[in-house]
Chain A
Amino acid sequence: MNRVSIAIALLLTASACANRDNYVLLPDRGGQSGTLSVKAKEGGHQIKLEQPYQTARSTSGGYEQGSTNAQDVQRRYGAALDASPPEPSRFVLYFLEGSDELTPASKRDLEAILAEIKARPVPDIVVVGHTDRVGSVADNDRLALRRAESFRKRLVQQGIADDTIQTAGRGEREPLVNTADEVAEPRNRRIEILVR
């Protein structure tokens, strides 16, 4: 960027300061909001939004804080909010110990999953394998991925396009039930299937 364009930029932006940014922190489904840090690129101004429906508006001298409500957010930003993708549907299936063979009960859940896939206009499917804490982390990463891959094959056999399925193995990182290492726990030997 040369000096001339910097000069032009300064000249033009100085006359166009009416435009503002607005930021609104929203609650999640549980009513919590987390925090949102807003850092200005120039001037070093920084603020943190910490409550649901807290707002910030950029000004020439920093930020103007305020608050709003669900109704007002819908009125002002409804078009963007209404275009949010539908929530993914989540299914959990369980495995026999040390294997990629589903438990009999979980085999029966397959129909519900196929129905959900067919109900979506452009379904994509994420299959995440998990293990219990028996065995090494590396072995469990492999077993977790094997579980996810075996389910991918099953979906493909049912006519689901292979390139709409993504698999991952989370190993023993995300147990449903916390246990000490080397404890066999059937509820952790599972795959989670997201239909999005």
Chain B
Amino acid sequence: MDRTRRHRNILSVIASGACCLAAIGAAAVFAAEPAPVTGNAWEAQIKVSRGVVSIDRGGQQYPGVVGARLKEKDVIQTGGNGSVGIMFNDNSTLSLGPDAEVVLQRYAYDSTTYMGAFDAYIKRGTVSVQAGNIAKQSPGAMRMMTPKAELTGTAKNYVVSVGE
């Protein structure tokens, strides 16, 4: 990750009001992120989209319309009236409410063995999570990160709300 990008991450963590040393923790997580390794052309697809939804892919903005396909490293953002529902290849889903931002940090999935890795960074907003085959096979392999915490487990459905 380049210097400007990391700097921006730090600034937005601060802006989202993370307490204490969370900013440093988040920066460390970003810095440790390995290079993407994936054979699939796409990892997820937008199934539901309302209001303003956009995809940031390598600095380029794309509209987050129904049918749009998503890849590792994409950043999904919703506006004040926006919401979006995303289906991943392993049948996991994430759905975002208004004013949310989620980074698809890492996604790898073996459809034969169900082994994989799914890391998402919920920077702000509310996200409803449904765990799919990756978490079913190995609960620790699906991690939802926020500026403050890391969530894992055998839970199938849960809600994460950042900066309420």
Closest CB of chain A to B111's CB: distance in Å? Answer: 3
Say whether B151 contacts A85, CB under 8 Å. no
What secondary structure prevails in chain A residues at the interface with B?
Answer: mixed
Number of interface residues of B (CB under 8 A): 66
B23: chain A residues at CB < 8 Å are 9, 13
Say whether A25 contacts B158, CB under 8 Å. yes
Other-chain contact of B158, A8, A13, A24, A168 (Cβ < 8 Å): A24
Say whether A19 contacts B16, CB under 8 Å. yes
Query: In the assembly, what is the distance between CA of A136 and CA of B29, in Å?
Result: 42
Say whether A58 contacts B17, CB under 8 Å. no
Query: A41: nearest residue on chain B (CB-CB)?
Result: B25
Q: Is B73 interfacial (CB 8 A cutoff)?
A: no
Query: A145: nearest residue on chain B (CB-CB)?
Result: B112
**Residues of chain B in range 7-37 having any CB-CB distance to chain A below 8 Å:** 7, 10, 13-14, 16-27, 29
Closest CB of chain A to B54's CB: distance in Å? Answer: 15
Other-chain contact of A141, B14, B112, B152, B157 (Cβ < 8 Å): B112
How many contacting A-B pairs (Cβ < 8 A)? 209
Query: In the assembly, what is the distance between CA of A36 and CA of B48, in Å?
Result: 26
Query: In the assembly, what is the distance between CA of A124 and CA of B84, in Å?
Result: 17
**Residues of chain A in range 163-183 having any CB-CB distance to chain B below 8 Å:** 166, 168-171, 173
Q: Is A83 interfacial (CB 8 A cutoff)?
A: yes
B71: chain A residues at CB < 8 Å are none
Query: In the assembly, what is the distance between CA of A111 and CA of B29, in Å?
Result: 49
Question: Interface code B95-123, partner A: CB below 8 Å = 1, 0 otherwise?
Answer: 11110100000000001110000000000
- A–B Cβ pairs within 8 angstroms, 21 of them: A13-B19, A17-B17, A18-B17, A21-B148, A22-B164, A23-B151, A35-B154, A36-B153, A37-B151, A39-B149, A39-B151, A42-B22, A42-B148, A48-B153, A77-B161, A80-B95, A80-B128, A82-B83, A124-B45, A126-B111, A168-B111
User: Which B residues contact A (CB, under 8 angstroms)?
Assistant: 6-7, 10, 13-14, 16-27, 29, 45-50, 66-67, 83-87, 89, 91, 93, 95-98, 100, 111-113, 125-128, 130, 146-164
User: Which A residues contact B (CB, under 8 angstroms)?
Assistant: 1, 5-6, 8-10, 12-14, 16-28, 32-43, 48-49, 58, 60, 73, 76-77, 79-86, 88, 121-122, 124, 126, 128, 141, 166, 168-171, 173, 194, 196
